[in-house]
Amino acid sequence: MKDSLMMLIIVSNSTTCRLYRYHHNEHPPLVRLQEINHPENKLKISELVSDKSGHYDASPNNQGSYSPPHDPKEVAIDNFTQEIAHILHQAHTHNGYKKCVLIAPPRIAGLLAQHFNKPDQAFVTQTIKKDIVHLPDHELLDFIEAHLKN
C-alpha cells in the first residue's frame, strides 16, 4: 500500500473479532484497537437453548410441539456480525478512517456484508476471505502487507 491513508483492518471469524488501525508510515504500522469475543458461538445448540420446545394440544390423542424458526447458533452468529457491522459503521462515521479491509472466512464475510449499509459497503475497499484470527499481530502485519491492493 503506497498511499498514506489510515485504514481500519477488521479480522474476524464466528467467535472473535479484532480491529486494528493500519498506517504504513507509522511505527508500529499496525495497532490493535479492540477485541470482541463471543465464545458462546462455539457452543452446541443444546448448550445455547435453555429448555425443551413448548407443547400444545393438537388433538385429544396427540401433542404438537413448537420448534424455533431459526437455529439458535446461527442467530447468535448473526447477532455477532450485526455488532461488528455497527462498530464498523461507527469507525467509518466518527474516527476518520478512509478505508477498511475485512479479513474473514467466506461465510462471516457474507453475513457481515448483509448488515452493511451502502456507505459502509463502499468503505470496505477489500475483503480477504480467510480465517486468520489465530495469527499473532506480527504475522498478521506480514499477511496484511502481502495482501493489500496496491
pLDDT per residue as tens digits for the range 125-140:
999 999 999 999 999 9
Is position 57 within any domain?
Answer: no
pLDDT of residue 35: 95
- Mean pLDDT, the chain, as a whole number? 83
Quick check: 98 pLDDT over 70?
Answer: yes
pLDDT per residue as tens digits for the range 24-55:
888 889 999 999 998 765 655 555 455 555 55
CATH at 81: 3.30.420.60
The region of weakest confidence among 20-24, 68-72, 79-83 is 68-72
- pTM here is 0.78
Number of domains in the chain: 1
- What is the domain range of residue 125? 7-46+68-147
How would you label 42-79 residue by residue, b for 16+ Cβ within 10 Å and e otherwise? Answer: eeeeeeeeeeeeeeeeeeeeeeeeeeeeeebbeebbbe
